[in-house]
Amino acid sequence: MINVLEVLILLYFTVLNTLYAVAVFVATRQLSYHIRRRQSVGLTELLNREFYKPVSILVPAYNEEETIQASVDSFLSLQYPEYEVIVVNDGSKDGTLETLIRTYDLTPSHRNASKTLQTRPVRMTYRSRTRPNLTVVDKENGGKADALNVGLTYAVFPLFCAVDADSLLDAEALLRLARRFVENDRLIAAGGSVRVMNGSTLKDGRISELLIPKGWIERVQIVEYARAFLAGRTTFSALGLLLIISGAFGLFKRSVVIEAGGFLEGTVGEDMELVMRLHRQMRDRKTPYEIEFDLDPVCWTQAPDSWKVLAAQRDRWQRGLWEGLLHHRKMWFNPKYGRIGMIAIPYYLLFEALAPLIEIGGYAFMLILGVLGRLNGEFVLLFLLLALLYGTVVSVAALSIELFMRVHYKHPKHRLQLLVTALLENFGFRQWHAWVRFRATLRLGQQKGQWGTMTRQKITARKHN
């Protein structure tokens, strides 16, 4: 029995790391294509085109006093022909609403909402005297999904962009992502890249100087984001298997999402659940559609800077992953849903949701064998090689592609520091992360739909002279 378990554990990590290697290869080819595409279509040409689709930017906010001004400034500075920004204050207990009222000279308004979705009561709507495309909705607390649904009922444009209140968008990000909907009538949802902005400085709503943060815990998240978006979502999108569009930056057809019932309350993974529901609905109706990820548009997000906050975030992500998968368990291994049911969902189930259980189980298994005096040296060597070393190589490869082909740090030493971080993350951090996700799996059903606590850093801003 022990030999069988050893073989199964080693086989699992062999398959997982092989998939990682394939993902890096596919991502490299896709990145080369995106770079050529970006160079062939400049911003001026995009702005001069007469065809575009207006966009409503939805910003759910809960206790975002420290970052809300910088984020809204970045949204209002976007280079896009026609769009509106709708900030939904979800019953914040800090000074989020007061900051918005003071900064943007808000005045009460009587903007009517559609009755397409059931939401928590709205207390008041505001419009800005200085920025006519800014609307703020103050509502009772109901969670992120409810806040997004409120934004949907007040939105008026055919596309909506869901962004986090602690995030910033590159000036061209919305333009470059929205053009995909003009080029492809079958597209119903698209996501862009998300990068960590901790340590960087802001000027006129944009990142003016890209620097790496001083804290190791923040640096390791830069590595994680590079691996997840470059080697993960790029590959899944290219193969038509994308199940996640980040809640920090996603663009959707508003009518399709409303028809699907909006964002689901009672889950902490409303972004993934919505994408899975869209796949399910379109395939049930046999309606041609596409859901894509685009490397080109970039959203900058503030990553947790403490172990406590990071653990809470990863706990929430793991529970959200399981909630989405379990809510749509009808799609598991179901040929009716094509490659989504037969490939994408099984992958997320076996190699994402179950990964921490298998990894922690592998460490525990080795410990038990050691106590019993039956530890196999070859098994230990192969396990560590597959679980740690090969994963480190993949991480370094993905980060190297990201650093040298896309992201340009001012100081070469910053690239070296991040590469060292990629080497070290598998020794200590990875095991801690696996334990957090393992524990989160055991706590499924607790704190359903709650935002959780996320401590923000005030974004350093430089004013235009």
Structural domain contains residue 304: yes
Read off the CATH number of the domain in which 81 is found.
3.90.550.10
Percent pLDDT > 70 in the chain is 88
Cα of first residue to Cα of last residue in the chain, in angstroms, is 71
**Structure confidence at residue 384 as a pLDDT band (50, 70, 90):** confident
292-309 average pLDDT score: 91
Beta strands in 198-333 (DSSP E): 201-203, 206-209, 249-253, 290-301
Distance CA 430, CA 363 (A): 12
The predicted-structure confidence for 122-167, as pLDDT tens digits, reads as follows 999 999 999 999 999 999 999 999 999 999 999 999 999 999 988 8
The predicted-structure confidence for 418-461, as pLDDT tens digits, reads as follows 888 888 888 899 899 999 999 999 988 765 555 555 555 555 54
Q: What is the pLDDT of residue 347?
A: 95
Percent pLDDT > 90 in the chain is 52
Q: How far is CA 160 from the centre of its chain?
A: 16
**Structure confidence at residue 321 as a pLDDT band (50, 70, 90):** very high
Q: Residue 300: pLDDT above 50?
A: yes
- pTM passes above 0.95: no
Least confident interval from 19-33, 161-175, 237-251: 19-33
Residues whose CB falls within 8 Å of the CB of residue 329, separated by 6 or more in sequence, listed in order: none
Structure tokens at 440: 């989160």
Q: What is the pLDDT of residue 465?
A: 39
Structural domain contains residue 36: yes
**Structure confidence at residue 44 as a pLDDT band (50, 70, 90):** low
Q: What is the pLDDT of residue 227?
A: 82
The residue among 83, 19, 28, 103 whose CA lies nearest residue 348 is 19
Distance CA 116, CA 114 (A): 6
Residues whose CB falls within 8 Å of the CB of residue 103, separated by 6 or more in sequence, listed in order: 69, 72
Q: What is the pLDDT of residue 90?
A: 96
The predicted-structure confidence for 172-185, as pLDDT tens digits, reads as follows 889 889 988 988 99
Q: What is the pLDDT of residue 36?
A: 64
The residue among 170, 161, 209, 148 whose CA lies nearest residue 74 is 170
Q: How far is CA 40 from the centre of its chain?
A: 28
| 74 to 91, 153, 231, 299, 402: CA distances (angstroms) | 23, 23, 28, 10, 24
Q: Residue 15: pLDDT above 50?
A: yes
Q: Residue 59: pLDDT above 90?
A: yes
Task: For tokens 């995030």, name the residue.
Answer: 167
Q: What is the pLDDT of residue 383?
A: 82
Structural domain contains residue 382: no
CB–CB of 16/355 below 8 Å? yes
Q: What is the pLDDT of residue 408?
A: 66
Q: Mean pLDDT score of the chain, rounded to an integer?
A: 87
Residues whose CB falls within 8 Å of the CB of residue 84, separated by 6 or more in sequence, listed in order: 54, 55, 56, 57, 133, 134, 135, 155, 156, 157
106-117 average pLDDT score: 89
**Structure confidence at residue 415 as a pLDDT band (50, 70, 90):** confident
Q: What is the pLDDT of residue 110?
A: 86
The predicted-structure confidence for 179-227, as pLDDT tens digits, reads as follows 889 889 999 999 998 989 988 877 766 787 888 888 999 999 998 888 8
Least confident interval from 203-217, 238-252, 352-366, 393-407: 393-407
**Structure confidence at residue 377 as a pLDDT band (50, 70, 90):** confident
- Total structural domains in the chain? 1
Instruction: Provide the residue range defining the domain that includes 211.
Output: 18-349+450-462
Structural domain contains residue 333: yes
Structure tokens at 418: 């991040």
Distance CA 321, CA 324 (A): 5
Structural domain contains residue 345: yes
CB–CB of 299/249 below 8 Å? yes
Provide the pairing of β-strand 55-61 with 83-90.
parallel
Q: Residue 404: pLDDT above 80?
A: no
Q: What is the pLDDT of residue 462?
A: 45
Distance CA 46, CA 424 (A): 42
Structural domain contains residue 112: yes
Q: What is the pLDDT of residue 89?
A: 97
Structural domain contains residue 356: no
Structural domain contains residue 423: no
Q: What is the pLDDT of residue 273?
A: 96
Residues whose CB falls within 8 Å of the CB of residue 165, separated by 6 or more in sequence, listed in order: 59, 60, 61, 62, 64, 67, 68, 71, 87
Provide the pairing of β-strand 290-301 with 249-253.
unpaired
Q: What is the pLDDT of residue 96?
A: 96
